[in-house]
Amino acid sequence: MTDTTGVPGTPHTPGTPHAPVAARPAAPLRTPGAAPSHIPGAAPSRTPAATLLRTAGELAAFAPRKGPRAVVMTMGALHEGHATLIRAARAAAGPDGQVVVTVFVNPLQFGETADLERYPRTLEADLAVAGAAGADAVFAPSVDEVYPGGEPQVRISAGAMGERLEGASRPGHFDGMLTVVAKLLHLTRPDAAFYGQKDAQQLALIRRMVRDLNFPVEIVGVETVREPDGLALSSRNRFLDAGERRTALALSRALFAARDRLAAQQALHARAQATAATTGRAAALTALGETRAAADAQAVALARPVDGPAAVRAAARLILDDAAGEQPPLALDYLALVDPADFTEIPDDRTTGDAILAVAAKVGRTRLIDNIPLTFGATT
């Protein structure tokens, strides 16, 4: 798994946020939907410490379940994004269900030993965060517990989708992620598992694995949680100094600029369509108070609706290119507008349907990712 999570609710971004890509709710669960960061019914009086479980045996012997079990998988170093995700799981499981948080830094996902060693371990603090958010237990196994006898010889392959974007930048990463997610799903046996939209490619691959291999679990995706300035919450943010953090804001600003460009383009197109192209068009435009420039822009919007994907990419790239000249600079890995189903690039002539605009870049030594869902062809 990667290190970040999502959160339902309204992100601190300009404009109207797009709703997360919602998963079909598990039958025995009460689906949280798009809820605020504080979810009513999360039992604020719960004991602010979750039970620590270290072995598969302890997990199997944990308190009998009276209701459904919801699982939140993490690599630790929990922050408010994880906490809100746990609260969503708590609300879904209900007072009679269980919420289990897994904390495991998976060595199969790290290409370099230095990155694995650098990853923060804060188990004591994680227990407090998880308990306060409503978790009943934290399953934090050792590497030997998860991989007895060493690295597994049999692994799950992410296939072609796992070789794109993050997979191209980090070969083998998604194979390792799916392998440990499969193991943890078998060990925890949840009715539903919650993952953040911030790691959109990971979420898509987990959904595909569950569908293709018939795992009896519902995968629930929730929206990315952000700092007030727009930076997506991540355990890696702690590695940024003040200057690097200022540069890193270009990732979210690029995504929001692209979203706003698409919204403006679609609003213009909708207004143009609403104005009849007849001899009465000039009078209609005058009644609307339109200037000649606006009328011309409307005509362009009608004549060239296929500019959507290209315009979205251009709006984001403009900001990212500027950030490359900052001190410290942003080193772009990729900017991609992809189909959520398989993460293939959206063609420039696409005028309808869902998409994900994803970006990855390095600032200093820290690699960051972010994304935003978009819908082409929307008129509202």
Point out the catalytic residue in the list 79, 82, 173, 269.
Answer: 82
CA–CA distance, 87 with 355 (Å, rounded to integer): 28
| Residue 48, token pair as written in the block | 């602010």
What is the 3 state secondary structure string of the chain?
CCCCCECCCCCCCCCCCCCCCCCCCCCCCCCCCCCCCCCCCCCCCCCCCCEEECCHHHHHCCCCCCCCEEEEEECCCCCHHHHHHHHHHHHHHCCCCEEEEEECCCHHHCCCHHHHHHCCCCHHHHHHHHHHHCCCEEECCCHHHHCCCCCCCCCCCCCHHHHCCHHHHCCCHHHHHHHHHHHHHHHHCCCEEEEEHHHHHHHHHHHHHHHHCCCCCEEEEECECECCCCCECCHHHHHCCHHHHHHHHHHHHHHHHHHHHHHHHHHHHHHHHHCCCCCCHHHHHHHHCCCHHHHHHHHHHHHCHHHHHHHHHHHHHHHHHHHCCCCCCEEEEEEEEECCCCCCECCCCCCCEEEEEEEEEEECCEEEEEEEEEEECCCC
Q: Is 360 left (phi over 0), alpha (psi -120 to 50) or beta?
A: beta
CA–CA distance, 218 with 56 (Å, rounded to integer): 22
169 in Cβ contact with 176 (< 8 Å): no
Count the alpha carbons within 13 Å of 284 in the hemisphere toward its beta carbon. 13
82 catalytic? Reply is yes
Label residue 216 exposed, middle or buried (CB < 10 Å: 0-12, 13-18, 19+). Answer: exposed
For the beta carbon of residue 238, count every other beta carbon within 10 angstroms. 11
Q: Which residues are catalytic?
A: 82
